[in-house]
Amino acid sequence: MPRLETFNELAHLRDSGFGQPAPRHGLQLLYWFAHDYVRFDYTGCMIPQYDPTDGGFGFKPFHNRIDDDDDRLLPNQNQPYYEVGNLNARYANELPPYVRGNSNHHWGDGNKDRIIIRLDPYGYIDRVYVTEHEDSTNFSHGCTYRISQGLLRKIENMNRSHFLQVTEHHHSKPQVINMNPQSRPTGFSQSYVGPPPYQSSESSLCETCCVVILAAFVLIVLFLFFIASMKNKYQ
């Protein structure tokens, strides 16, 4: 099987398109998993808060069989895999509402994303993968990725709205400026003031010169008046 890409940064997750767009639930599922299902001990080992073998939250064994591509989805290790994310699975109703979403979306794209974990012999989570169904039976080899412990820790320390903000693609529409004043909406409450009237630099220079000349004239008159007063004083 080809080597799986490992996601270490939020940008890797965003650029992969995993769990996007709505009604896909993969990003919400991954946030729940990192924030509520797994925790890290002081050695950095990943400990499941609940035993996946019990089937809670819709967990079930993933057998990693050879699929229609004549290959296994994940490395063939002598360790058990478990998957979660099927919104129609038994006990999937234990997932939080923000993961389950609208029940009308529990089919097709709204139910294609999965998380697969691998347990070591001590019950710790050894690997975490995200994937998606390419049809009703098989998962997509090209859309299967490993999620690093570092990325899980980053997600764990984020609030959900911020996590979704930085991992979802946002296609902003360009702003269209309508230059026709007659087509402005009637409910528009603020009038456009516009820029101040244009004033040329020559006009400003002329006004400045006039002020300077007037001030000089006043000073000359005062000086002449002072001279005349001094002459009258000593005559």
- The answer to whether 138 touches 66, Cβ cutoff 8 Å, is no
**pLDDT top residue among 2 and 156:** 156
Q: How much is the pLDDT for 28? A: 98
Q: Locate tokens 């234990």: which residue? A: 94
Q: How much is the pLDDT for 172? A: 42
Count of all residues that appear for the chain in the document? 235
Q: Name the band, by pLDDT with cuts 50, 70 and 90, for residue 2.
A: low
- The answer to whether 88 touches 77, Cβ cutoff 8 Å, is no
The SS3 call for residue 131 is strand
- Integer Cα distance of 112 and 132 in angstroms: 5
pTM of the model: 0.71
Q: Does 3 have pLDDT greater than 80?
A: yes
